[in-house]
């Protein structure tokens, strides 16, 4: 406290719960944590979840409940040399942001956990399957935590307002909870922001005008980055323009690089729409060029147009599936030699070997098509591509069927 007796610690720290009974949220893991606390020895844990869901708070509750010497360290602030000094005489290490340690640094913990010399309570916002070594993961119990629900955020907002000496209308608390996007720390920071406002600006309608704009987390390297992109593409594939637009907005408003969105849309245009609407890919490529030229924030305009077009377009994944089928043939049967008549005779010796002999030049025939084999001899008659009855694709496939029938 300062000389006037004012509390200087952040509100989130001041009301941090000291026991599982007071903890808000994560009801799906509380009983497991109670069982762990009842055991003679606390197991090493990895608490995985989005920011502000209570990972560090749970780790502190567990460490304090055991009454053993512990230390809390943030991975970005401590190298291994510093860490070795900090853990001397300690039985429990709370390590925030484990994913910020390299794979080599993570190996430091293996012998400590193997011998039971140390209990590790680590936290991460990134998918441990990709950010933590398999060796270390095998020694940790992984608990996945969730964003706080609206009801849980409301309860936390009420606690925070009381601790900050605020008497806020429920509508004001609701506005704060909605803006927090499941993040308890963000919510309590907003409560502190409101506490600093003049009283006349805390009324519900006034408060909505003065709250900071949406504090969406830019989680470009974490799970939400890929989850939102995946949801956008799946919405396009499912022909739902409203959902596709929503997830595009989630990506852009959280600070996502629009070029990443452009790349995903170009892939979707070929993978999910393909020959059902051959204009989908050129449109996606044009959108990428438009975004590059005009930049943000106006770049959302061509992106929104493209997302809606792709969602409304007929769908066909036949070319995508056909390539995978051809790839499977190669992986299982190996590369087959190119037929001699398709090989270019670049030298006199190659001509003597029969390169190019018997090749029929399609443009010399009616409709630029002539019957001849193009696949290796062992694969003649094999079909990788099968047309779908979607959009323009039937018309394209009908031409080939007509030509083949003419020759048959």
**Which tens digit of pLDDT belongs to each residue from 149-187?**
999 999 999 999 999 988 888 988 988 888 888 899 989
> Taking a C-beta distance cutoff of 8 angstroms, is the pair 210, 220 a contact?
no
The reported pLDDT for the residue numbered 2 is 44
Identify whether residues 88 and 110 lie together within a single domain: yes
Q: What's the confidence (pLDDT) of residue 270?
A: 95
Out of 257, 285, 312, pick the residue that ends a domain: 312
Query: Same domain, yes or no, for 107 and 67?
Result: yes
Domain-located, residue 186: yes
393 in a domain, yes or no? yes
For residue 70, what are the β-bridge partners? Answer: 92
How many angstroms separate the Cα of 182 from the Cα of each of 44, 221, 403? 26, 19, 60
Do 259 and 345 reside in the same domain of the chain? no
pLDDT for residue 23: 94
- Considering the domain architecture, whether residues 235 and 303 belong to the same structural domain is answered as yes
- What is the three-state SS of 143-157? EECCCCCHHHHHHHH
d(CA 229, CA 244): 10
Which of 144, 169, 193 is the endpoint of a domain?
144
Q: Look up the domain containing 389 and give its range.
A: 330-407
Own/partner contacts of 128-137, CB < 8 Å, gap of 24 or more, are 128/46, 128/48, 128/99, 131/98, 131/99, 132/46, 132/98, 132/99, 132/106, 133/103, 133/106, 133/107, 135/106, 135/107, 135/110, 136/106, 136/107, 136/109, 136/110, 137/46
pLDDT one-digit tens code per residue, 113-128: 988 889 999 999 888 8
How confident is the model over 377-387, as pLDDT tens digits? 888 888 898 88
Report yes or no on 7 lying in a domain: no
For the domain that residue 259 is a member of, what is the CATH number? 1.20.272.10
- Tally of structural domains, the chain: 4
Boundary residue ending a domain (115, 144, 173):
144
Q: Are residues 121 and 34 in the same domain?
A: yes
pLDDT at 82 over 70: yes
Same domain, residue pair 179 and 94 = no
Question: Considering the chain, what percentage of its residues have pLDDT values greater than 90?
Answer: 49
Whether 353 and 266 share a structural domain: no
pLDDT score for 224: 65
From 357, 402, 404, 406, select the one nearest 381 (Cα to Cα): 404
* Whether 139 and 55 share a structural domain: yes
SS3 at position 41: coil
Q: What is the pLDDT of residue 5?
A: 42
Q: Are residues 94 and 193 in the same domain?
A: no
**Per residue in 204-222, pLDDT tens?**
777 777 777 544 444 544 5
- Contact of 95 with 55, CB cutoff 8 Å: no
d(CA 146, CA 276): 39
For all residues of the chain together, what is the average pLDDT? 88
Residue 396 scores a pLDDT above 60 = yes
- Quick one: pLDDT band at residue 393, thresholds 50, 70, 90? confident
| 171 and 121 in a common domain | no
- What confidence tens digit (pLDDT) does each residue in 183-206 have? 999 899 999 888 888 887 888 777
Residue 243: pLDDT over 60: yes
Residues β-bridged to residue 92:
70, 119
Residue 295 within a domain: yes
CA pair distance 348, 255, nearest whole angstrom: 61
Distance CA 402, CA 339 (A): 25
* Residue 14 covered by a domain: no
pLDDT by residue (tens digit) across 332-343? Answer: 888 888 899 989
For residues 30 and 114, membership in a common domain is answered with: yes
**Residue 363 included in any domain:** yes
Token duo for residue 129: 């399957």
Helix H or strand E segment including 120: strand 119-124
Q: For position 3, what pLDDT does the model report? A: 40
The C-alpha atoms of residue 185 and residue 161 are separated, in whole angstroms, by: 13
Residue 385, in any domain of the structure: yes
Any idea which residue has 């940790």 for tokens? 140
Write the CATH number for 339: 1.10.3710.10
- Position 6 in a domain: no
Instruction: Check which CATH number belongs to the domain holding 112 and give it.
Output: 3.40.50.300
Domain co-membership, 305 together with 377 = no
């Amino acid at each position: 406290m300062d000389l006037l007796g004012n509390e200087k610690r952040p509100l989130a720290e001041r009301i941090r719960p000291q026991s599982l009974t007071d903890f808000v949220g994560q009801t799906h893991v509380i009983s497991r944590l109670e069982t762990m606390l009842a055991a003679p020895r606390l197991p090493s844990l990895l608490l995985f979840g989005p920011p502000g869901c209570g990972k560090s708070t749970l780790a502190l509750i567990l460490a304090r409940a055991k009454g053993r010497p512990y230390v809390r360290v943030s991975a970005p602030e401590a190298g291994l040399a510093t860490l070795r000094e900090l853990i001397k005489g300690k039985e429990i290490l709370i390590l925030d942001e484990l994913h910020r340690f390299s794979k080599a640094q993570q190996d430091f913990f293996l012998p400590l956990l193997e011998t039971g010399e140390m209990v590790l309570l680590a936290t991460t916002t990134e998918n441990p399957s990709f950010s933590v070594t398999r060796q270390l993961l095998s020694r940790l119990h992984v608990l996945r935590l969730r964003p706080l629900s609206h009801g849980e955020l409301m309860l936390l907002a009420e606690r925070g307002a009381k601790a900050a000496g605020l008497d806020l209308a429920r509508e004001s608390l609701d506005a704060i909870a909605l803006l927090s996007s499941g993040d308890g720390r963000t919510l309590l920071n907003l409560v502190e922001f409101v506490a600093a406002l003049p009283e006349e600006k805390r009324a519900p309608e006034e408060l909505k005008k003065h709250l900071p704009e949406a504090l969406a987390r830019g989680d470009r390297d974490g799970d939400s980055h890929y989850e939102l992109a995946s949801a956008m593409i799946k919405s396009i594939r499912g022909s739902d323009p409203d959902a596709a637009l929503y997830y595009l907005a989630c990506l852009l408003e959280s600070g996502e690089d629009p070029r990443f969105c452009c790349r995903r849309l170009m892939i979707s245009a070929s993978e999910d729409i393909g020959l059902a609407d051959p204009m989908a890919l050129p449109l996606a490529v044009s959108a990428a060029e438009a975004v590059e030229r005009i930049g943000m924030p106006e770049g959302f305009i061509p992106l929104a147009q493209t997302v809606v077009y792709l969602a409304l377009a007929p769908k066909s994944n036949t070319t995508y599936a056909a390539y995978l089928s051809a790839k499977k043939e190669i992986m299982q049967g190996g590369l087959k030699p190119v037929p001699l008549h398709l090989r270019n005779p670049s030298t006199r010796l190659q001509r003597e070997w029969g390169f190019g002999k018997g090749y029929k030049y399609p443009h010399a025939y009616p409709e630029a098509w002539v019957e001849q084999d193009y696949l290796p001899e062992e694969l003649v008659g094999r079909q990788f591509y099968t047309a779908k009855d979607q959009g323009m694709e039937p018309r394209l496939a009908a031409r080939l069927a007509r030509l083949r029938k003419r020759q048959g």
